[in-house]
Structure 1
Amino acid sequence: MGSQDLPIEILFPILAIFGIPANVMTVLILSQRKCGLSEGVTRYMTAMATGDLMVLVFNVIVSQIIKYHFPGSLLKYTPACRLNIFLQGLSIQLSIWFTIAFTFDRFVAICCNKIKARYCSGRTANVVISIVSALNIMVNIPLPFRYEPTHVLNNVQWGCRTVTGYLTSPAWAAHRWLTNISNMFLPIPLLLLLNSLTAHHILLASRARRALKSSRGGAGEMGRDPELKTRRTSIILLFTISGCFMVLSAPITVIHICASVTQLVAFQGSNSLYVAIRVAFLLLCTSSCTNTCIYALTQRRFREEMKNLLKSPSSLLCKPRY
């Protein structure tokens, strides 16, 4: 670990200290269903918090803190190393696609009145979350087989290194493109498209509502229109969550695309590109800490439940709703 990496390595523990309690608290608060959110939205937000918590556990604590500061840990054994690689990839993909699933749910709720009642429900949310989880597990199953032991001592496999022929194998090339599409190429454009369509619909609906109220002589009450206020709150929550995710994940996306194009597999610690990857990865992990802050800033009832939890944790822990 070079001297230029020291500030980055200090930030990972700080990220874990803040992010893990924040996401655990979010799951506990949302599980009470007292925040005034619909059942479907509550389930999506709970899934997002759970995915973010997995990112912080497996990509920050295990892979960054334990791996770098405790080199004699179980991660030196090949089976544990492979399992951690699988959980790393799975947690990041779940975090990404739970955010996309939530964004699509809000798109349907705001823009698709014909299917809104059927799609935007707790049952549909459970189905979507289950399908997203199953598909991402399937995509990440090959990941552990990408690595082989660096050496075998007394019939014990140690370390992980990329298997020979990884870059020349058609099967691995197909899997590489599949993961690149699901992790890098598709999420940000899809979020941009959904948010653009949602924003366009909200703007048109708001203009029509203002024009209707103005024609009826209610111009003075438009600022107190509860419908417009609800829409404004919804769009702030939606755009802030997906916007923060896109901003914080864009650097690692760009670097990953460049690495894929140039067929780079490993980076040396002295390489400036390695440092850039570390910073971009830190930003990606930071996106797993932002949602709790967003909920607290945009949802009054979430803030109230958060205060209640901090004042009396036992009162919340003893009353689970589901």
Structure 2
Amino acid sequence: MLLPIQVAQKIYYMIVAVIGVQVNLLAIVILSRGKCGLSICITRYLVAMATADLLVIITEVILFQVNFYYFPRCFLDITPVCTVTYILRRAVIDCSVWFTVTFSFDRFVAICCQKLKTKYCTGKTAAVVPASTGILLCAKNIPFYFTFEAGMIIDNVPWLCYDNPSYYTDPGWIGFDWFDTVLTPLIPFAFILLLNTLTVRHILVASRVRKGLRGQSKGENHSDPEMESRRKSVILLFTISGSFIFLWLLFVIDFLYYTITGTDINYYTVPEYTFQQFGYMLRNLSCCTNTFIYGVTQSRFREQVKRAAKYPVTSIIRLMNKQNK
């Protein structure tokens, strides 16, 4: 018998799976073409983020959540398979989070550190940083392979992935669990809030100085291309990082709750379980939002989306015209 929250999740995750795959693929294709008026540095970070989000949708939403509700007891539930799938889920979720951090740091350097900007904010760095981050995060999650054991053996085939009891009692595993949770998402939360605060402070100071130099403090109205470009960059940065913080907030609150109170999540009450699952639902939704953010904040991205939407229709019309001739 499914709980009300589980009934909602069964429908919710199917919708997220369908939408998430499409919007992230769309973002990857459009951004990769480089026709959105963004620098190659920003473009590569956004493509990396969209790729990580797409992988989260595939591994976390489709292979885990949708499989759980619609295809119980399939080959994905064989112990070695579900163990590897779990590692991939953790790795791509980490990448999705930390790519947001690396993008925020890149924009912080570009806006606040002019001397470092020319060396750091390059296309090469924007390729090396996400790649190195992804490799390190994948390596970090390998130990999870040894935290599971089979739930049952059927015809000599191990099924399901149950936590090894030592994971909750062995000091080494307890420390690793703390390290894993602090690394994602507590440190990213702190980094993003700090970087955005420093960026806002720098912008306010720089804005006052530039207005004074351009005579706007005396009521004159001059356009400032530099500030306009910076404003667009900041809007993109703040909407992405703000969306991340908002959608991960319940997940973080739940972690702090069971950590501080010492509550065992395996024995949650129905309200506690419902709150926890809402946190997971919003966390997974964060992998679908960036494409909509690009569409709202970037006019050239919207133009490319419109062209992509019209392309099948125009192609059919051209084909019909050729056949008529």
Which TM-score band (shorter chain)? over 0.9
Q: Name the residue aligned to 1:320.
A: none
- Structure 1 pair 210–216 and aligned structure 2 pair: CA distance change class (3 A): closer
- Please tell me the root mean square deviation across aligned C-alpha atoms, in Å: 2.1
Q: What is the rounded CA distance, in whole Å, between the counterparts of 2:172 and 2:149 in structure 1?
A: 17
Q: What is the Cα deviation at residue 270 of structure 1? A: 6.1
Q: Which amino acid aligns with 1:243?
A: G
**Structure 2 equivalent of residue 153 of structure 1:** 154
Unpaired stretches in structure 1, ≥5 consecutive residues:
316-322
- Residue-pair matches, total: 314
CA deviation map 1:2-45 (0-9, x unaligned): 23421232111111221210000000001101111111111100
Q: Cα offset for 1:268?
A: 5.5
Alignment of 1:124 onto 2:125: yes
Describe the shift of the 1:4–1:301 C-alpha distance in structure 2 as closer, same or farther (beyond 3 A): closer
Q: Which residue of 1 aligns with 2:33?
A: 32
**Is the partner of 1:219 in helix, strand or coil?**
coil
Identify if the C-alpha distance between structure 1 residues 10 and 72 changes in structure 2 by more than 3 Å, giving closer, same or farther: same
Change (3 A) 1:218 1:225: farther
Distance 1:212 1:163 in 2: 65
Give the CA deviation at 1:263: 5.1
Cα distance in 1 for residues equivalent to 2:182 and 2:236: 26
Residues 47-73 of structure 1: CA distance to partner in whole angstroms, max 9, x if unpaired?
A: 000111111111111111111221022
Distance in 1, matches of 2:83 and 2:59, equals 12
Code of the aligned partner of 1:303 = R
The residue that corresponds to 1:189 in the other structure is 190
**More off after superposition, 6-15 vs 246-255:** 6-15
Partner of 1:308: 307
Q: Which has the higher contact order (CA 8 A, sep 6+)?
A: 1
Letter in 2 for 1:249: W
How far the C-alpha of 1:285 sits from its partner, in A, is 0.8
The C-alpha deviation readout for 1:214-270, integer Å capped at 9, x for no partner, is: 17978222xx32222111111110000000000110110111232334555543686
The change in CA–CA distance for 1:93 and 1:216 in structure 2 (over 3 A counts) is closer
> CA shift at 1:155, angstroms?
2.1
> Is 2:97–2:185's contact at 8 Å kept on the other side of the alignment?
no
Cα-to-partner distance string for 1:64-104 (whole Å, 9 max, x where unaligned): 11112210222221011101111111111000000000000
Question: 1:314 & 1:195 partners in 2: Cα distance?
Answer: 42
The corresponding residue for 2:228 is 229
Q: 2:235 aligned with 1:251, yes or no? A: no
Sequence identity (%): 40
SS for the counterpart of 1:150 is strand
TM-score, with structure 2 as normaliser: 0.91
Corresponding letter in the other structure for 1:99: T
Query: 1:289: which partner in 2?
Result: 288
Give the distance between the partners of 2:5 and 2:195, measured in 1 at CA: 39
5+ long unaligned stretches in structure 2: 315-325
Q: Verify the 8 A CA contact 2:110 2:117 in the aligned structure 1.
A: yes
